[in-house]
Amino acid sequence: MSFENGSPSTAWRRFRDSYFLYRLQRDRRAQICLLLFGLLMIGLLLTPWIAPSNPYDLAQINLLDSELPPFWIAGSEPGHPLGTDAQGRDLLSTMLYGARVSLAIGFGAVLVQSLLGTVLGLLAGYRGGVVDALLMRLADIQLSFSTLMMAIVVGAVVKAAFGGAFYGDYGVAILITIIGLSEWPQYARTVRASVLAEKRKEYVEAARVLGFSSYRIMWRHILPNTLSPILVLSTVQIANAIMAEAALSFLGLGMPETKPSLGSLIKSGFDYLQSGSWWITLLPGLFLVLLVLVVNLLGDWLRDTMNPRLYKG
């Protein structure tokens, strides 16, 4: 392959020739996944325009339409292809809006934990000594608890302390913080491990000899080299964060009835499982599984492709 000098789109060219794309072209499963993920993303971005109704607009809800079945069961109505929930909300619309909430929380939480974990991991790895020992023991203690347990306790306390209305208004932000705070050690350990590996390398030594500040060395030299494990970890963590949010919502510590995420939809439908309206709870459940599965598969493929050094355990 020949390189033409002065081409306006070298970035694109670099991407086209990358190993990444090479692998993608050869992996059918990854292609399907990426396609599905893209479709889901587009669907969720366009939700306000493609959803049959707006579940947040209470005026559109009619209790007399409640528990209509999905289209393949007798008694369904064409306006509600996947049926309605116990309140009479269109299930398809509610699910789409709910998935947006779930995904936003997933991304947000991962942003929080990766920022926090990366900074602390860099610090611990680069500085070493007391800082390292302190941070890593803190991580140990936090990891010796299940993160789900942490999130439940913190969620219950926040909800009780600030009241349900506050929780309802800032639910997304609160859940992002809770899940973000309880998972930072994963990142810190991974980043620290790569920093320890990088630190010994000559280019860092050289930078230090040249008199660069340690801040500059960390951000400009070491951090870029830890990006691929962070990226791979992040896909897994997004899936985990979505699941954690669903679990919290299921326990009533997540999104409120008025702005349901997929988890709260599953929860509110559970009461009606016994009366035969299984779709209220199982269809959002299916959607949740699809969402998480696609993210997980992408993560799997990224891991295989980038083959990063991950902290195991």
Partner 1 sequence: MIFFLMRRLLQAVAVMFVISVIGFAIQDGLGDPVRQLLGPTATDAESTALRHSLGLDRPLWMQYLDFAGDAVKLNFGDSYFFHEPALDVIARYLPATLELVAASAMITLLLSVPVGIFCAIRPRSWLSRGLMGLSLIGISVPVFLSAMVLIQLFSIGIQVTLFPTGTGWGQWLNQLLSIQGGMPAYGRGNPVHVWGVWYTNFASWQGLLYLLLPALSLAFVMLPLFVRLIHAEMLEVLESDYVKYARARGLRPSRIYFLHALKNTLLPVVTLGGVQIGTLVAYTLLTETVFQWPGAGLMFLDAIERADMPLIVAYLMVVGLIFVVTNTLVDLLYRGLNPRVTLSGRAA
Partner 2 sequence: MRLTTFLLGLMVGGLLMPLSTGAALADDSPITLRVAYDTDPVSLDIHEQLSIGMLQLSHLAFDPLVRWNRELDFEPRLATRWEQLDDTTMRFHLRHGVTFHSGNAFTARDVVWTLRRLQRSPDFRAIFAPISRVEAVDAFTVDLETRQPYPLLLNLATYIFPMDSQFYSGTSGGGLDKSDIVKNGNSFASGHLSGTGPFEVVKRQPGARIEFERFPNYWDTDSPGNVERLVMTPIAENATRVAALLSGDVDFISPVPFNAVQRLRHAEGVKLVTMPGTRITMLQLNEQRVAAFRDRRVRLAFAYAVNQTAIAERLLKGFATPAAQMSPQGYEGHVPTLIPRHDLARARELMREAGYGDGFSVTLMAPNNRYVNDAQTAQVALAIAAMLAKINVTVEFETLPKNQYWAEYDNRAADMMMMGWYSDTGDSANFFEYLTFCPDAETGAGQYNASEYCNPRIDALVKRANLTMRPAARARLLQQAEQEIHDDAPFIPLYWQNLAWAAADRVEIAPVLNVMNMPYLGDVVVQPR
Partner whose binding site includes residue 64, from partner 1, partner 2, none (CB under 5 to 8 Å by kind): partner 2
Rg (CA), the chain: 23
Q: What is the rounded CA–CA span in Å between residue 216 and residue 115? A: 17
275 binds partner 2 (CB under 8 A): yes
Q: What is the rounded CA–CA span in Å between residue 90 and residue 70? A: 10
Please identify which residue in 43, 52, 70, 88 interacts with partner 2, judged by CB under 8 A: 88
> Please, which residue, 92 or 152, has the CB nearer to partner 1?
152
Collapsing DSSP to helix, strand or coil, 45 comes out as helix
Best CA proximity match to 151, nearest among 19, 235, 58, 240: 240
> Please, which residue, 111 or 282, has the CB nearer to partner 1?
282
> Please, which residue, 162 or 215, has the CB nearer to partner 2?
162
Q: Do the beta carbons of residue 92 and residue 81 sit within 8 Å?
A: yes
128 binds partner 2 (CB under 8 A): no
> Please, which residue, 152 or 217, has the CB nearer to partner 1?
152
Best CA proximity match to 285, nearest among 304, 269, 301, 307: 269
> Please, which residue, 221 or 267, has the CB nearer to partner 1?
267
Contacting residues for 48 by C-beta, under 8 A, at least 6 apart: 54
**How far, in whole angstroms, is CA 174 from its chain's centroid?**
15
Q: How far is the CB of 198 from partner 1 (least distance, A)?
A: 19
90: DSSP letter = B
**How far, in whole angstroms, is CA 223 from its chain's centroid?**
22
Q: How far is the CB of 149 from partner 1 (least distance, A)?
A: 4
Extract the tokens encoding 280.
């209220």
165 binds partner 2 (CB under 8 A): yes
Please identify which residue in 66, 76, 225, 296 interacts with partner 2, judged by CB under 8 A: 66
Give the helix/strand (H/E) hosting 273: none
81 binds partner 2 (CB under 8 A): no
Give contact residues for partner 1 (rule: CB under 8 A). Answer: 137, 140-141, 144-146, 148-149, 152-153, 156-158, 160-161, 239, 243, 246-247, 250-251, 263, 266, 270, 273-274, 276, 278, 281-282, 285, 288-289, 292-293, 296-297, 300, 313
79 binds partner 2 (CB under 8 A): no
Binding span for partner 2 by CB under 8 A among 85-93, 117-125, 134-142, 196-204: 85-93
Partner whose binding site includes residue 48, from partner 1, partner 2, none (CB under 5 to 8 Å by kind): none
87 binds partner 2 (CB under 8 A): yes
Count of C-beta atoms within a 10 Å radius of residue 56: 15
Tell the residue number behind the tokens 């491990």, with chain if given: 193
> Please, which residue, 239 or 255, has the CB nearer to partner 2?
255
119 by Cβ neighbours in 10 Å (0-12 / 13-18 / 19+) ranks as middle
Please identify which residue in 17, 140, 257, 304 interacts with partner 2, judged by CB under 8 A: 257
Count of C-beta atoms within a 10 Å radius of residue 205: 11
> Please, which residue, 69 or 221, has the CB nearer to partner 1?
69
Distances (CA, A) of 96 to 19, 160, 169, 256: 35, 29, 20, 16
Site for partner 2 in 6-65 (CB under 8 A): 57-59, 61-64
Residue type at position 227: L
Please identify which residue in 43, 52, 81, 256 interacts with partner 2, judged by CB under 8 A: 256
Contact residues: partner 2, CB under 8 A: 57-59, 61-64, 66-67, 86-88, 160, 163-165, 167-168, 252, 256-258, 268, 271, 274-275
